[in-house]
Homo-oligomer: A and B are copies of this chain.
Amino acid sequence: MVEDHPVVVEGLRRILAQEMPHAALLEFNTGETFLQHLREAQHLVTLALLDITLPDTNGVELCQKAKNLSPDTCVLGFSNHNDRALIMQMLSSGASGYLLKNVGAPELMQCVREALNGQMAFSDEVKKIIARPSAAHVKAVPPLTKREKQILRMIADGKTSADIAAELLVSPFTIETHRRNLMQKFDVNNAAALIRLAAQLQLI
């Protein structure tokens, strides 16, 4: 667990000790100590419970870095934040699930087991939040023109600029320009990052 609230640490410790007495439980109170542990890889971390607000970082960033260092580690967000966008960000960052801190012991253990089992795991309240379609996240999307959306999808399809130009009956130069404008709007510098963002924003 990566958690800086002593009370929560204590609670988790008790529950886990009782329910999974054989599991090795590691406790970190900052993101950096956790990442350091992953780097050294003394012990594999099979499952991590990440608090969202930590003294030195935030859950989303930490989750990304952790998954980069250790792709097989299963990450669960564990926080009081019930903001849909945040939860979605965690999932996009590779988290396998999300729990609100108000969960009871049975629900917590249920989620842990699901996650260890390769499933997505959410506490009941989070399920409701996810089911509720968001109108908010659309706001953050940079406005794309019709043509840009169209070309974005074709890039995601794996088509080259030449392919797209042929399909749309315009010059390849034109497509290159659109490509550039798209990357500029999303503030990225290659197609991979562009498509990742677009996928996260549900544009494709």
Contact = CB atoms under 8 A, between A and B. Distances in A.
A103 interface: no
A71 B195 contact: no
Contacts of A188: 158
Interface string A35-69: 00000000000000000000000000000100111
B146 A71 contact: yes
Interface in A89-106: 91-92, 94, 97
Interface in A110-166: 114, 117-122, 127-128, 130-135, 138, 146, 149-150, 153-158, 160
A135 to B, nearest CB: 5
B71 A150 contact: yes
Interface residues of A, number: 49
Contact of A67 (B94, B135, B153, B196): B153
Contacts of A9: none
Contacts of A189: 158
A118 B135 contact: yes
Interface of A: 64, 67-69, 71-72, 91-92, 94, 97, 114, 117-122, 127-128, 130-135, 138, 146, 149-150, 153-158, 160, 188-196, 199-200, 202, 204
